[in-house]
Amino acid sequence: MFSTKLSVVPNASPLVAAVCALSFLVAGCSTTPAPDKTASWSPNKIYAEAKDEAGSGAYDKAIPLYEKLEGRAAGTPLAQQAQLDKAYAQYKGGEQAQAIATLDRFMKLHPASPALDYALYLKGLVNFNDNLGIFSIISRQDLSERDQKAAKESFESFKELVARFPESRYAPDSRLRMTYIVNSLAQSEVHVARYYYSRGAYVAAINRAQTAIADYRDVPALEEATYILYKSYDALGMTELRDDTRRILEKTYPQSHYMSKGFKSADNPWYKFW
pLDDT at 135: 41
pTM of the model: 0.73
* Contact present, 183 and 271 (Cβ < 8 Å): yes
pLDDT at 273: 40
pLDDT at 262: 83
Short-list 210, 205, 211, 207, CA closest to 193: 205
237: left (phi over 0), alpha (psi -120 to 50) or beta: left
193-234 pLDDT, tens digit per residue, is: 999 999 999 999 999 999 999 999 889 999 999 999 999 999
DSSP reduced 3-state for 122: helix
pLDDT-derived band at 148 (thresholds 50, 70, 90) equals confident
pLDDT-derived band at 19 (thresholds 50, 70, 90) equals low
Q: Give 138-189 as a DSSP string.
A: TTT--GGGS--HHHHHHHHHHHHHHHH-TTSTTHHHHHHHHHHHHHHHHHHH
For the chain, percent of residues with pLDDT exceeding 70: 77
Q: For the chain, give every domain's residue range.
A: 43-109, 185-273
Tell me the mean pLDDT in the region 42-70: 95
Secondary structure letter of residue 266 according to DSSP? G
* Contact present, 193 and 223 (Cβ < 8 Å): no
43-109 is classed CATH 1.25.40: yes
pLDDT at 8: 38
For the chain, percent of residues with pLDDT exceeding 90: 66
CA distance 195 to 202: 10
253: left (phi over 0), alpha (psi -120 to 50) or beta: beta
CA distance 215 to 207: 12
